[in-house]
Structure 1
Amino acid sequence: MYARRTLLQSSVGAAALAFAQSLLPRAAQAQAPAPSAPAPAAPSGPFHLPKLGYAYNALEPHVDAMTMEIHYSRHHQAYVNGINAVAERWPEIAKIPIVETLQDLNKVPEKERTAVRNNLGGHWNHSFFWELMTPGGAKEPQDKLRSGIDAAFGDVAKMKQAVNAAAASRFGSGWAWLIVDKDGALRIVSTANQDTPFELGARAVVLGVDVWEHAYYLKYQNRRPDYLTAWWNVVNWDKAAENYAKAKG
């Protein structure tokens, strides 16, 4: 009887252990973040993702690594795929400088105009945006850009407040920009979706901030103003100064 009871206990214990072990992978899987969707297939074509000049986690804690990876490799790639699809139907677009196309969309065939506005606009906007951020950069603009900002807005803090206000009040998705207008003056504008400042007559763009939810939602959820406040910590002021100098040329 003792041997039988011992054998039964051992069997029950082994079964319980096996059952518990079978649950471990499921528990671990439940705790692990869901894998992101695979990147969209990239058709061959004349447009490509630009090289990102820093690691995905380089802008933390202000912009988190997962947001950077998804934003760059998924969202931007989708715009590249979209404009390459346009190029298959209208090869002429590959021969025209991107900014020239965006400055006058009326030159684009009407049936392709919306696709070009959305996809070429998204490609240009994001390519510009990646260069406008950097880890460990200067905290404030200097020299001519600072003088221009002081003259136009009073000081850098007031300029930031104005950009943040334009970005925070953009209904839905879009961007806020510091531009040089056709008269050579610094001005703040906001655009919807993937529209660009060139449609508003910008001579050049000095800086811009993306306020599509995919740019900040993983870390900041609905707190767009918190994202905007944090974003100024990663602005590449050297690149912004270069943009301004070219515009004032």
Structure 2
Amino acid sequence: MKRIFFLALSSMAFISCGKQGDDTANGPKAKITIINAALDAGAVTLVFDGQNVNETPIAFGQFSGSADNAYLAARPGVQLTQWQVGSTPPAEGKFFQWVPGAYYTLVQYDTAVQNIAPVLLVKDNITVNDTMAKGRFINCVAGIDSLSLWLVGPTDTVKVATKNAYIGISGSFLTEFSISWKPGARRMELIDKNGVVLYAEDIDIAEKTNYSFVAFGETGGIGEKAPVARKMAQLQ
């Protein structure tokens, strides 16, 4: 059986015709964040025209780039786009138009069956504030629990998300970093629908930075499947 690259898109479409030439190689790049939130999946690689976008395959619970910026620069234009999981050959791909200068977030989620799991892509709306940080929450914890993400500071608490559904149920996540707050030290708390703190971590927040807070794991999970939250910086 052929492995088909399944990609759900928000406000975008694949190119159905054959690949056309372009002259974007030396111009602005497409910026892509890759997140592997699929339980039981091997490490993932995004492939454009036979070339890996991420040099190191991304394991479950991890994301592309570095702690300073999760976006990877990639050649834009119409590319044969494929998704490779583990050491198996890339799944059959499709031609897709990656826009020069645009920002994307690509999330593999749910539970992998024979190393196949759904993938969701959005085109991010990146803006910055001169003095504040901005953020969004992506709930990739498989199950029926709705989760909240709070940032607790010395004088205030920022509710980045309140009882957000799992993306396997909602079928989407925010394209905008719509919540803003003052930079500095805070305690990040992942909270279930009954108000129980599932995970907490002390973090630092910088100004002029967009953050995604991604929840990994499954409802009631233990070990590597226990619900956790990760902070990702996504910069222009």
TM-score by length of 2: 0.27
TM-score by length of 1: 0.26
Larger radius of gyration: 1
